[in-house]
């Protein structure tokens, strides 16, 4: 049987190479999810009034969980269904993920359930200046703007 004789220098070089590969892979995973992606925040009318007064967006749920809950275009229908079914009108805010930087992280839902995929969470105060577009949406299946419905990036 052949014995492999590795010295500390060889082992160190191997470990550094593996660490670099892991960093490149991790950065590619994060960037592939959010480059050019639009993410959305749904607010009640009262939350929107408060957000405009404070110049940042923060709901009670966001305060409890420690991050701002956002949705991709594909996730909006589920978010409306599960969290806003008792509201007649809401405010839909759009953000460009590139404008949110590294504080935007796509993660599995906190509570495992019917909803699958990674959800955008923003780990910083969400300044209203970062809003790229906004709409008032009304019940009737919550008619989303066509440009949002057609946004199928994530």
Inside any domain, residue 22: no
Inside any domain, residue 79: yes
Domain that residue 116 falls in:
38-149
Inside any domain, residue 113: yes
Inside any domain, residue 33: no
CATH number for the domain including 142? 3.20.170.20
% pLDDT > 90, the chain: 51
pLDDT tens-digit map of 46-84: 999 999 999 999 899 999 999 999 999 989 988 988 899
Domain count of the fold of the chain: 1
Instruction: Identify which of 65, 78, 75 has the alpha carbon closest to the alpha carbon of residue 120.
Output: 75
pLDDT greater than 60 at residue 31? no
pLDDT greater than 60 at residue 16? yes
* pLDDT grade for 139, boundaries at 50, 70 and 90: confident
Inside any domain, residue 121: yes
Question: Are the beta carbons of 111 and 69 closer than 8 angstroms?
Answer: no
Inside any domain, residue 81: yes
> By three-state DSSP, how is residue 61 classified?
helix
What are the distances in angstroms from CA 66 to CA 4, 89, 99?
A: 50, 26, 20
pLDDT greater than 60 at residue 141? no
């Amino acid at each position: 049987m052949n014995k492999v004789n590795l010295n500390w220098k060889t082992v160190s070089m191997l470990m550094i190479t593996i660490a670099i590969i892991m960093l490149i892979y991790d950065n590619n995973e994060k960037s592939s999810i959010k480059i050019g992606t639009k993410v959305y925040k749904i607010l009640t009318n009262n939350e929107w009034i408060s957000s405009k007064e404070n110049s940042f967006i923060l709901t009670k749920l966001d305060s409890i969980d420690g991050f701002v809950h956002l949705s991709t275009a594909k996730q909006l229908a589920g978010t409306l269904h599960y969290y806003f079914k008792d509201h007649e009108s809401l405010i839909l805010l759009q953000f460009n993920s590139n404008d949110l930087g590294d504080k935007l992280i796509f993660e599995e839902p906190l509570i495992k359930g019917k909803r699958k995929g990674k959800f955008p969470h923003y780990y910083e105060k969400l300044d209203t200046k970062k809003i790229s577009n906004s709409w008032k949406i009304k019940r009737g299946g919550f008619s989303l703007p066509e440009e949002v419905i057609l946004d199928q990036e994530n």
